[in-house]
Structure 1
Amino acid sequence: MTIDPERLDTVWPRATTRSGGELYLGGISARELAREHGTPAYILDEDDFIARARAWRDALPGGDVHYGGKAFLCPEIVRWLDRLGLNLDVCTGGELAVARAGGIDPARVTFHGNNKSAAELRAAVTWGAGCVVLDSFTELTRLAAIAAEHGVRQRVMIRVTPGVDASTHKAIATGGDDSKFGFSLSAGDAERAIRLVRAEPSLELYGLHSHIGSQLLELDGFTLAARKMTAFATAMDVDRLDLGGGLGIVYRPGDPVPPTPGELVAALQKETGGLHLAVEPGRSIAGPSTVALYEVGTIKGVYASVDGGMSDNPRPAMYGSPYTAILASRTSGAPERAFTIAGKHCESGDVLVRDLPLPADLAPGDLLAIPASGAYQRSMASNYNHVTRPPVVAVRDGRSRVIVRRETEEDLLRLYV
């Protein structure tokens, strides 16, 4: 029995099915995945990820698609991107190291971040990173000196804060005038930065960049930013514009459905005219492609506690992010009642899903699956309470393989001196 098509298209990886009450991911049952890889685990549908990446690539022929590595990154993902012809953006020295480990051409890597250290900038310059996105005057001076030291003329973009307040959580809105990111357009800082870069022989102005926020579900913010940035780029005689990422995804059935990559690109192209356009999707590729699999450990009143929690998904605690879950390991004829899915950590706020209708006979040992778990979960995971981080398991055509192994207690103890 296939899951309801609406849920399949918007919440679960596209090939997800259910038979006899059991969830199948990439042709493998939830129970089999749990037996082989343990729980909690992130189950990534490889075909789904690749199809979503291709959709972005095909929506912008002649432009540049940079996968936003901060959503989720590992060397195997880098290899997939490389084969697909996508570029990559990274924002720390650690992400830069993962890009190198994945073997991508450094010329296709863009280096972001609001406080890049001298060591990180030096690593980018000496590796040959295609572009560094400048975020402050301090960084501009620092990078110019490092590039000159190594005899390199480094391509750069200027990150511009366009003064657009995106309709999203304040913690992930980045385009307003009070943002920690970029050079203010309204205060004249962006224009000054352009002039300084053009005066530096070790820097080459490659284009302008802006990003207004994440989990955006409407086009208005994107188009307003594109309009303002296009006017500024034209006035400053710049022909390349990177409008960042931010396109949201559906986390629960019935939530608003975001525009498609094609719809967003068409709206941006209408505003940007003949400028060379780049985008940086991350969540919209990685997010829907992965399901988090948990085992129920205890049930106490309305609370069903699982073997993970805020260490593998901090987003509900940080942002109040809504998720859904289903019983993934069996069928049940019991009536539904509301459960709160809690984690195992010593925090009252360690809750993954509140007031979720599940069969009243939910019991220890049952498996729960939470969809839309591919973005900002493994990448934000921690070792709070010294809990080890789950593996990432890629599934495809009835086969599974680990692409990020489960951490062990030995991994944790190895850090101590």
Structure 2
Amino acid sequence: MSSHEAGALHAEAGHHGPEWLRPPTDVNALMPKLWSSTVFRTDEGSLSFGGVDVRKLAAEHGTPAYLFDEDDFRSRCRAFKTAFEGAEVYYAGKAFCAKAVIRIVAEEGLSLDTCSGGELAVALAAGMPPERIALHGNNKSVAELTRAVEAGVGRIVVDSFTEIERLTAIARQRGVRPKVMIRVTVGVEAHTHEYISTAHEDQKFGFSLSGGAARQAVDQILADDVLELRGLHSHIGSQIFDTSGFEVSARRLLGFQSEIFEGYGRQLPELDLGGGYGIAYTSQDDPLPPADLARNLRKIVEHECAGYGLAVPHLSVEPGRALIGSAMCTLYEVGTTKDVDGIRTYVSVDGGMSDNIRPALYDAAYSATLASRSSQSPAMLARVVGKHCESGDIVVKDEFLPSDIGPGDLLAVPGTGAYCRSMASNYNHAVRPPVVAVRDGASRVIVRRETEEDLLRLDVG
């Protein structure tokens, strides 16, 4: 798959197939949907990102580096805020959590979804208003729940009976009434990778609707009358391109809300349909615009509420990847190239699975382009790989790149804002790259590059 016109490529370069399997007519062309809105190729052939030539960014900040387009991120936040006017838009901080990003989220009027004590700590340090924070997670510790209660977070999404008991005890001790949502496993099979599909029955998240656990959770919370039950929550998976799964989820959640209304005479005022909205990593991906997504979800909820005779609840959504994913790219330097029996050329860069584990973990597809110059050489089938001691250390499995690419060239991979820096590691004792925010022709480091001293400081011997 390619940032030009290629898709999932055949292993043999000479394969004859549909047009999208063939080399692009212009190897220098950029596909706008894959990149942040400020990216273009300059007259000299290099990429400009946020008004700065990537060659300058590489010289100043080194490679590999995650580049963050602040204006693009802000525009995506505003698009979701506008599309979901009257609803609550939570930025899913697990996609990428940093103080500078959270401050932008707060400034743009969005709320924040956290799923660990660490993410909550960053959110509070960034000055995010606690009442606009939600806390998720399938195994929240007593310490994490206590901190959330003491900080006054707006919503806690409960995920197990043990957690309900823990939170109830904490609330009683402090004489407070935390607002909670119940995460419901609705039995929807999202059309995505098994590891990022989260609403089928056989997995760790939530209370089963079909098995009766969700009803037991409602019974327990309402019987104790310590926690304030605000509504139901569901998250069906990630990298989803249509709303059919959300339609099934909403129908089942609202059917359950109807049962609660009949049993207790009270209607829960909120409904959270989660996130998981996909972005374009390759030419084959076709995500829905926020306005279409919002219109479809509202229509689904309103239709189901009318069918059950319920008032329409206050809707919440949780975009993460859809906000931050395309707002960032990763800049690498090519170290070596290696032709393998005329099948393809391996292009090795100075990063790899330590800064983007997703291809190895999910078989995720990415695109890449020569970033430091343009080329008039013919396209070749390439595989972009990292420098780690794993054959699965692949950054981009199949891509058409100029056949003259070589050591010292810069390579850019779009769409790396979500779950790349968040899941980065020190495998082979690699130091994690910096995150460089770029805006209006200027750059600043918002997460600094790790150093060998950082690694040795933790190794107490």
TM category, shorter: over 0.9
Identical-pair percentage? 55
Q: 1:290 corresponds to which residue?
A: 328
Matches within 5 A, 1:44-55: 44-55=68-79
CA separation in 2, counterparts of 1:277 and 1:400? 37
The alpha carbon displacement at 1:360 in A equals: 1.1
The equivalent of 2:274 in structure 1 is 244
Structure 2 stretches lacking a partner, 5+ long: 5-25, 261-266, 303-311, 340-344
CA distance in 2, matches of 1:187, 1:320: 32
Equivalent residue, structure 1, for 2:41: 18
Partner Cα separation in structure 1 for residue 61 and residue 83 of structure 2: 36
CA distance in 2, matches of 1:334, 1:264: 41
Cα RMSD over matched residues?
A: 1.3
Match of 1:392 among 431, 435, 442: 435
Q: Which moved more, 1:260-269 or 1:46-55?
A: 260-269
Amino acid at match of 1:360: S
Moved more, 53-62 or 231-240: 231-240
Between Structure 1 and Structure 2, whose CA radius of gyration is higher? Answer: 2
What residue identity is the alignment partner of 1:271? I
| Matched-pair contact (CA < 8 Å) for 1:8–1:14 | no
Question: Per the alignment, in what secondary structure is the counterpart of residue 113 of structure 1?
Answer: coil
Q: Deviations along 1:18-62, whole A, 9 cap, x unmatched?
A: 022201001111100000000000001101101111111111111
Contact 1:156/1:203 (8 A) holds in 2: yes
Secondary structure of 2:418's counterpart equals coil
Runs of 4+ in 1 over 4 A off after TM superposition: none
- 2:401 aligns with 358
On the 8 A contact 1:219/1:259 being kept in 2, the answer is no
Give the equivalent residue in structure 2 for 1:270. 299
> Among 286, 291, 294, which residue is 1:257 paired with?
286
Q: Indicate the SS of the match to 1:381.
A: coil
Residue correspondences, number: 413
Are residues 1:86 and 2:110 paired? Answer: yes
Supply the AA of the counterpart residue of 2:299.
K
For 1:139 and 1:9, how far apart are their aligned partners in 2? 45
Instruction: Choose from 315, 333, 337 the match for 1:299.
Output: 337
- Deviation, structure 1 residue 248: 0.3
1:145 matched to 2:165:
no
Secondary structure of the residue aligned to 1:205 is strand
For residue 164 of structure 2, give the secondary structure of its aligned residue in structure 1. Answer: helix
Alpha-carbon distance in 2 for matches of 1:271, 1:167: 19
Map of 2:223 onto structure 1: 199
State the secondary structure of the residue aligned to 1:214.
coil
Q: How does 1:13-412 map to 2 (within 5 A)?
A: 13-19=36-42, 20-236=44-260, 237-253=267-283, 255-273=284-302, 274-301=312-339, 302-412=345-455
Shift, 1:8, TM fit: 4.8
Deviation at 1:234, TM superposition (A): 2.9
Secondary structure of the residue aligned to 2:384 is strand
Unpaired segments ≥5 residues, structure 1? none
Letter in 1 for 2:189: D
Q: Distance in 2 between matches of 1:200 and 1:289?
A: 45
Structure 2 CA distance for aligned equivalents of residues 159 and 230 of structure 1: 13
Distance 2:62 2:357 in 1: 20
Kept in 2, the 8 Å contact 1:323–1:370? The answer is yes
| Deviation (angstroms), 1:220 | 0.7
- Please state whether the residue corresponding to 1:288 is helix, strand or coil: coil
Name the CA distance, whole Å, in 1 between partners of 2:377 and 2:299.
Answer: 53
Kept in 2, the 8 Å contact 1:43–1:291? The answer is: yes
1:8, 1:16 within 8 Å by CA — same for their partners in 2?
Answer: no
Distance 2:31 2:68 in 1: 15
Please, what TM-score do these two structures have when normalized by structure 2?
0.88
**SS of structure 2 residue aligned to 1:414:** helix
Q: String of CA shifts for 1:125-150, please: whole Å, max 9, x gaps.
A: 11111111000001110111111122
TM-score norm. by structure 1 comes to 0.97
Q: CA deviation at 1:363?
A: 1.1
Match of 2:184, SS state, is strand
Measure the CA separation in 2 of the matches of 1:306 and 1:113. 35
Counterparts of 2:329 and 2:228, CA distance in 1: 42
- What is the Cα deviation at residue 202 of structure 1? 2.6
Specify the code of the residue in structure 1 equivalent to 2:417: G
Q: Using the alignment, how far apart are the partners of 1:9 and 1:234 within structure 2?
A: 44
> How big is the shift at 1:206?
1.3
CA–CA distance in structure 2, aligned partners of residues 327 and 389 of structure 1: 22
CA distance in 2, matches of 1:8, 1:43: 18
Amino acid at match of 2:40: T
